[in-house]
Structure formats: C-alpha cells, structure tokens
Amino acid sequence: MLDAFDRRILLELQRSGRLTNVDLASRVGLSPSPCLARVKSLESAGIIRNYVALLDSERIGGTLSVFIHITLERQSQKVLEAFERTVVAMPEVMECYLMTGDADYLLRVVVRDAVALKDFILDKLTKTPGVANIHSRFALKQVKYNTALPLDQLWPQSQPAPKVRKPRRRTQR
C-alpha cells in the first residue's frame, strides 16, 4: 500500500522529476537510502512510468491545439484495434481516448498552424480505415494544464492506495 512517504515522494516528483535523491529525501523527510529504495519500488511497480521534460509551446514557436472527435464506421474489436494502432503512430496526436457518447474517440492534436491541421486531417485521418466522421474544434486558450495526478483526491488518507510491489532483496551465498 502507498503510505504517507510514498504519496509525498509522488507529489514531489510530479512537481519536479529532476530532483536529486538527496533533495527529494529532504523534502519528504527521509534519509537518502530509504528514499531511493522507495522510488525504485514505485518505478518497478509501474506507478512511476517515466520522467519527462514539459515544453512551453509558445516559446518554441507556438502551436495549434485541436480536439478532434472521431466516429468509426463500426465498433468491432478489429476496427478499434486498427484505428488505435494507426493513431499511436501519429506524432501529432498527443492524447487519444475511447469515449462514450456521440463520438468513438477524442484526440488532442498539436500542429504548427491551420495548414498543418488541414494536411493532418486530409493526409492522415481521412485515409485511416474505418473512420466515418471527423469533427474538430480549435482551442483558443489554455486555461489550465496539469500533468500531476491529484493523489489526495484519488486516494484520500482513509482509503487504501494501490499496492506497491517491493523488490526482492538478493541474498548472497
């Protein structure tokens, strides 16, 4: 189970994945060795998937963020899997969700400008087998963007958090 130290480690790493282990340990109230062991355990359990650098799109020349609703011709397992394989290979697609409601999928796409969006839709999406309808909406302004999960809301202290598989210690012979 995730305990208070694990939660603090996750919160701090979500704020800054570049913290040194010494700085992280200091922030969460542990000594460096047990802190590192906990981080390794969270990584091996798959709770920490990766460490990334978040870029500011305006500072690198600006981008257009577009939300695209996709409706497929059929919702068979074969069509869904083929669509998902195709979309995963498209670098412009930042996020893809299988949805309930009117559309089958919701994509968040980032492109340079309207011309690049047109090219993406015409050269890629319309040529994707199984796509019946494409509806896009431009984001005019990003009001909130957060990559950190709200751990306290997902797992209040009174509820059990996911179990963390502790790595086995190797015994010397």
DSSP letters of 61-102?
A: T--EEEEEEEEES---HHHHHHHHHHHHT-TTEEEEEE-SSS
Question: What mean pLDDT is predicted for residues 115-130?
Answer: 96
106, 130: one domain: yes
**The domain containing residue 9 runs over which residues?**
4-53
Tell me phi and psi for residue 110, to 5 degrees.
Answer: -120, 125
72, 40: one domain: no
How far apart are the C-alpha atoms of 90 and 87, rounded to whole Å? Answer: 5
24, 85: one domain: no
Query: How much is the pTM?
Result: 0.81
Q: What is the pLDDT of residues 133-163, one digit of tens each?
A: 999 999 999 899 999 999 888 877 655 655 6
What pLDDT score was predicted for residue 78?
Answer: 95
- Is 145 exposed, middle or buried, given 0-12, 13-18 or 19+ CB atoms closer than 10 A? exposed
11, 69: one domain: no
Q: Is the pLDDT of residue 173 over 60?
A: no
CATH number for the domain that contains residue 42: 1.10.10.10
Provide the domain count of the chain. 2
